[in-house]
C-alpha cells in the first residue's frame, strides 16, 4: 500500500513533466513551427514571443534556452523516477542528493531569467513562468524528501 508520505515523491515526477511540457511547447512553437508562435501571447506584457526571441534570453552558445530547460527537466524526471521506484542503494542515494542540488542551481538561474523578463524585457512568458514554478516546486519537494530520508 502506498503511504501518504510516499505520495509526495510523485510530485517530483509531476513537476518535472510539467516543466518539460512547457519547454516542449516552446520548441514546437519557436523551433519547429508546429504551433503558431503567437499562441501564448496574451498582451504586451504577457508575450512569449517577445521573451523567447529577445537577445537577453534567446540563446546560450547558439542553443535556445528552452532546449536547456527541456534537458534539465528530463534529467529531473529520470532522477525522480530513480528516487521513487529505485531500490534503496547507491543510485537511490545519489538521486536523493542530486535532486535538491540541481533544483537549487536551476532556482538561481530561474531568478536571473525572471529578473531579465521583468526589468530588461518588460514582458513575461507564461510558458517560461510554468517552467520557473516547476523549478521552485522541485526545490521545495526535493528538500522535504531529502530532509525526510537523508543519506541513509
Kindly give the residue spans of alpha helices, DSSP state H, lying in the chain: 4-26, 48-52, 65-85, 90-115, 126-149
- Check residue 1 and give its pLDDT: 44
CA distances from 94 to 36, 83, 135 (A): 40, 9, 19
Residue with cell 510530485: 11
Residue-wise pLDDT for 47-105, tens only, equals 888 898 888 777 889 899 999 999 999 999 999 999 988 877 888 889 999 999 999 99
Return the minimum-mean-pLDDT range out of 32-41, 93-102, 140-149: 32-41
For residue 26, pLDDT over 80 is answered with: yes
- CATH for 4-149, options being 1.10.630.10, 3.40.630.10, 1.20.1440.130, 3.20.20.70: 1.20.1440.130
For residue 33, pLDDT over 70 is answered with: yes
How confident is the prediction for the chain on average, in pLDDT?
89
For residue 124, pLDDT over 50 is answered with: yes
**Residue 46 or residue 5, greater confidence:** 46
Query: Nearest CA to 149 among 113, 96, 101?
Result: 96
Whole-number Å distance between alpha carbons of 152 and 53:
46
CB burial of residue 36 (10 Å; 0-12, 13-18, 19+): exposed
- Check residue 150 and give its pLDDT: 62
For residue 131, pLDDT over 80 is answered with: yes
**pTM for this one?**
0.91
Whole-number Å distance between alpha carbons of 57 and 50:
10
Domain ranges of the chain: 4-149
Amino acid at each position: 500500500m502506498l503511504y501518504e508520505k510516499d505520495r509526495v515523491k510523485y510530485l517530483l515526477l509531476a513537476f518535472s513533466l510539467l516543466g518539460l511540457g512547457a519547454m516542449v511547447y516552446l520548441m514546437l512553437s519557436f523551433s519547429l513551427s508546429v504551433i503558431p508562435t503567437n499562441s501564448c501571447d496574451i498582451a504586451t506584457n504577457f508575450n512569449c514571443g517577445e521573451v523567447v526571441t529577445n537577445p537577453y534570453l534567446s540563446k546560450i552558445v547558439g542553443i535556445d534556452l528552452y532546449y536547456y530547460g527541456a534537458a534539465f527537466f528530463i534529467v529531473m524526471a529520470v532522477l525522480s523516477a530513480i528516487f521513487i521506484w529505485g531500490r534503496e542503494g547507491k543510485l537511490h542515494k545519489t538521486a536523493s542528493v542530486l535532486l535538491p542540488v540541481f533544483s537549487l542551481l536551476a532556482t538561481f538561474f530561474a531568478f536571473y531569467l525572471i529578473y531579465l523578463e521583468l526589468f530588461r524585457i518588460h514582458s513575461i512568458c507564461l510558458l517560461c513562468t510554468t517552467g520557473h514554478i516547476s523549478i521552485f516546486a522541485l526545490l521545495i519537494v526535493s528538500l522535504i524528501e531529502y530532509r525526510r530520508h537523508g543519506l541513509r
